[in-house]
Amino acid sequence: MSHHDERTFVMVKPDGVQRGLIGDIVARFEDRGLKMVGGKFMQIDEELAHEHYGEHEGKPFFDGLVDFITSGPVFAMVWEGADATRQVRQMMGETDPAESAPGTIRGDLGLDLGQNVIHGSDHEDEGANEREIELFFDEDELVEWDQTDAVWVYEDEDH
């Protein structure tokens, strides 16, 4: 990883997969200049769902979260780039699509709070990224590679 890079965990949720939005969502991050270093199409089981949503255990909406995230396949990804977590959160929009600006993923692609298409690590929770990346990916599933257009994305790269 170069000096300006940060990794962030992102997941297209079952509703986004069912609606055929994976390509659109991946393209938005690629267009922005972020680099995918891991991607996995998978079915989340109960155990992983419980670990992923662990902090919500015991809350009234917990069972609904688990039911939804295990209801169909998801596309889990790790993206890399400058300030990636904050950039991705900004691109996703607010948790409630109704509050999300047009141009954001949820503002463009979602209408309902429960079916909000995408999950991304919380940039205000220090360890969220590493925790979620480790939960979904083994180290050898993440690929280190040079993005040839990085010189056109970052000001301080050598031209």
Question: Residue 25 sits in a domain of what CATH number?
Answer: 3.30.70.141
Residues 112, 34 contacting (CB under 8 angstroms): no
Contacts of 25 (CB under 8 A, 6+ apart): 12, 16, 105, 109, 117, 118
N- to C-terminal Cα separation, the chain: 19
Scanning the structure block, which residue is given the tokens 């990085």?
A: 150
Phi, psi of 103 (to 5 degrees): 100, -25
Q: 1-38 burial, b if ≥16 CB within 10 A, otherwise e?
A: eeebbbbbbbbbbbbbbeeebbeebbebbeeeebbbbb
pLDDT tens across the length of the chain (159 residues): 554 589 999 999 999 999 999 999 999 999 999 999 999 999 999 999 999 999 899 999 999 999 999 999 999 999 999 999 999 999 999 989 999 999 999 999 998 888 889 999 887 777 888 999 999 999 999 999 999 888 898 887 665
Residues 158, 151 contacting (CB under 8 angstroms): yes
Q: Specify the number of domains making up the chain.
A: 1
For residue 158, tell me if it sits in a domain: no
Q: Give me 74's structure tokens.
A: 């998801």
Domain hosting residue 28, numbered range: 6-32+41-125+135-153
Which residues does the annotation mark as catalytic?
119
For residue 120, tell me if it sits in a domain: yes
**Torsion angle of alpha carbons 131, 105, 23, 75, nearest 10°?**
30
Amino acid 3: pLDDT: 46
For residue 1, tell me if it sits in a domain: no
For residue 21, tell me if it sits in a domain: yes
From the annotation, which residues make up the binding site for ATP? 13, 61, 89, 95, 106, 116
Pairing of strands 35-42, 118-120: unpaired
Amino acid 2: pLDDT: 52
For residue 108, tell me if it sits in a domain: yes
For residue 52, tell me if it sits in a domain: yes
- DSSP strand E in the chain: where? 6-12, 35-42, 74-81, 118-120
Closest CA to 40 of 24, 58, 57, 22: 22
